[in-house]
């Protein structure tokens, strides 16, 4: 059993919890999906910090330019950056996946004000905590994105690659397949942009990005035992925080539904 296989075997219980999480069965109405998206959008946003950090480590984005000597991983990261920042939406227009997600939120009637104000604060120079305070961001969401930023700020390429690979690319297809599978109105135009976004990620991450990202982790760690240990710990924490985020979103949907029943 190689290092990657060993890590994936140790992560299997957490991945199974994610795949069978009760969140998916709560997504039965447009209102449920809207609540999910209003909270999940912060994970869509902070994914780009992981990706851009890896781009900084594995390619040279400074001038004057000098070669990094990491051709295969540089190509992989640059391909993902291109897809994430300028993929083609369902209308054939170039658009980032984040912007596609915002469009999908608008289509289902989700409120984008929190993420809009958060991004505005970041653009105006606030750090994550400062921007979060301005919108009273809920603790489980803030914990999730703070972990991402802590990993990024560790300046350890292998740890960043771990959060990126095992916390995102390697598990997103399974999670999104469950969401698509639970959509009881998948032919409804109200869901068309979200379904396009989800299916696009399933296609890219499952068929292309996920397998190559595993090779990236292996290349960054080599035979360094400490790096492999740090990769495992980072991966475990990333999945645990995803579970906490899923728990939080599930509770929010159930509470909203309970209130609606009480008010009828």
Which string of b and e fits 89-104 if b means at least 16 CB within 10 Å? bbeeeebbbbebbbbb
Higher pLDDT, 194 or 223: 223
> By the 8 A CB rule, do 43 and 239 touch?
no
Q: Mean pLDDT over all residues of the chain?
A: 89
**pLDDT single digits (tens) 75-122:** 888 988 998 899 988 889 999 999 999 999 999 999 999 999 999 999
Checking if the pLDDT of 169 tops 80, the result is: no
Higher pLDDT, 196 or 139: 139
Q: In the prediction, which pLDDT does 173 show? A: 64
Q: In the prediction, which pLDDT does 237 show? A: 98
Q: What are the residues whose beta carbons fall under 8 Å from the beta carbon of 176, sequence distance 6 or more?
A: 198, 199, 201, 202
Checking if the pLDDT of 211 tops 80, the result is: no
Higher pLDDT, 251 or 192: 251
Structure tokens at 254: 């159930």
> By the 8 A CB rule, do 69 and 63 touch?
no
Torsion of CA 70, 73, 79, 83, to 10 degrees: -130
Q: In the prediction, which pLDDT does 181 show? A: 67
Higher pLDDT, 98 or 213: 98
Checking if the pLDDT of 8 tops 80, the result is: yes
Rounded to a whole number, what is the largest CA-CA distance in the chain? 66
Q: In the prediction, which pLDDT does 68 show? A: 85
Average pLDDT, integer, range 42-69: 93
CA angle centred on 163, ends 160 and 165, rounded to 5°: 100
**pLDDT class of 240 with cuts at 50, 70, 90:** very high
């Amino acid at each position: 059993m190689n290092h990657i296989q060993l890590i994936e075997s140790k992560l299997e219980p957490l991945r199974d919890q994610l795949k069978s999480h009760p969140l998916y069965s709560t997504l039965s109405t447009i209102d449920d999906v809207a609540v999910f998206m209003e909270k999940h959008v912060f994970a869509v946003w902070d994914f780009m910090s992981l990706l851009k950090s890896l781009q900084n480590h594995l390619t040279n984005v400074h001038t004057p330019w000098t070669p990094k000597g990491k051709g295969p991983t540089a190509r992989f990261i640059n391909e993902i950056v291109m897809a994430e920042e300028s993929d083609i939406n369902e209308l054939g227009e170039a658009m980032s996946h984040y912007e596609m997600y915002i469009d999908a939120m608008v289509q289902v009637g989700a409120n984008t004000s929190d993420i809009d104000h958060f991004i505005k604060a970041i653009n105006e120079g606030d750090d994550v905590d400062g921007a979060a305070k301005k919108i009273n961001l809920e603790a489980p969401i803030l914990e999730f994105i703070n972990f991402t930023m802590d990993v990024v700020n560790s300046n350890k390429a292998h740890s960043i690659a771990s959060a990126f690979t095992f916390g995102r690319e390697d598990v997103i297809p399974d999670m999104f397949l469950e969401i698509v599978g639970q959509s009881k109105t998948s032919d409804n135009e109200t869901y068309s942009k979200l379904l396009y976004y989800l299916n696009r990620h399933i296609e890219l991450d499952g068929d292309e990005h996920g397998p190559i990202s595993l090779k990236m982790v292996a290349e960054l760690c080599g035979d360094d035992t400490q790096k492999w240990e740090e990769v495992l710990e980072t991966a475990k924490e990333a999945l645990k925080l995803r579970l906490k985020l899923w728990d939080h979103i599930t509770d929010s949907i159930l509470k909203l539904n309970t209130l609606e029943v009480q008010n009828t």
